[in-house]
Amino acid sequence: MPNSARLRPFLDKLMARTILTEAEQAVVLSLPGTPQQLSAHEGFVQRGEAESSACLVVDGLCAKVVNTLGGNRQITGFYIAGDLPNPHSVMLPNAPTALQAISPAQVLRIAHSELRRIASTHPGIGEALSRDATCEADISAEWIVNLGAREAKSRVAHLLCEMAVRYGKAAEGSFEFEFPATQEIIGAATGLSSVHVNRTLKVLREEGCVEMTGKCVRVPDWRKLQECAEFDNTYLQMHEPMRFSPI
């Protein structure tokens, strides 16, 4: 698998939000990086570790994980193909939170120096990276709302809505997508116990909102699920690509 293929979903994601010239697109696809294969549950960035490269998710599901002193575990974000979980390590090399693969996954390590180089040489790329980081921040804010202001049913439903949109599978009516997270992982992301996630999924299933069997999420009625989740996808900023920097 050539690196350009690994970088493809990343470029697609950037271009969903930012207009890039042909030249800039080519530069992104020619980024040098080292691929790394990960098995499920394997960590690939440790908390506090000084990094010299950022990790692009090529395939699989990854997550940012924090272990509290109280012995609890909290997932603060999920990352799928095309996501750059730690772009901020370019600015602050000491990772404040660990990263790990949830399912078997592949990441591409890209040197900070390379990212800095293409961002400063090509204003459109710099802009795209900034805009991407901004969207991540908006997602974090939504997670805060989810954890602080919604009950279990809405929390789980909201997470599934977000993932449906990010996987690009959300559509009017019914659809399904793969989300390889166990109920315990969903619990770690929503601040619920795995037992309660189970009960919650049961209710959602009985109400005809979602069905989860293994890694497969079936949404029989997108509108219904969104209502149950109080989901408003504007925060994911998947509308029109834009650009401020001169071409």
Partner DNA sequence: CGGACTATTGATTTGCGTCAAAGATTGTGG
Partner DNA sequence: CCACAATCTTTGACGCAAATCAATAGTCCG
Site residues, DNA (CB under 7 A): 151-153, 182-184, 187, 191-196, 198-199, 201-202, 213-214
- Residue 214 binds which entry of its own copies, DNA, none, with Cβ cut-offs from 5 to 8 Å by kind? DNA
Q: Minimum distance from CB of 67 to DNA (Å)?
A: 14
- Please, which residue, 5 or 92, has the CB nearer to its own copies? 92
d(CA 202, CA 210): 9
- Residue 25 binds which entry of DNA, its own copies, none, with Cβ cut-offs from 5 to 8 Å by kind? none
Residue from 94, 121, 174, 194 that binds its own copies (CB under 8 A)?
A: 94
d(CA 186, CA 148): 16
- Residue 153 binds which entry of DNA, its own copies, none, with Cβ cut-offs from 5 to 8 Å by kind? DNA
Residues 159-198, mask of contacts with its own copies (x by CB under 8 A): ------------------------------xxx-------
Contact predicate 94/50, CB 8 Å: yes
d(CA 101, CA 156): 21
Residues 29-58, mask of contacts with its own copies (x by CB under 8 A): -------------------x----------
CA 116 centroid distance within chain: 22
Applying CB under 8 A, the residues found at the interface with its own copies are 48, 64, 66, 68-70, 72-74, 76-77, 88, 91-92, 94, 96-97, 116, 120, 123, 127, 130-131, 133-138, 140-141, 143-145, 147-151, 154, 189-191, 230, 234-235, 237, 244-245
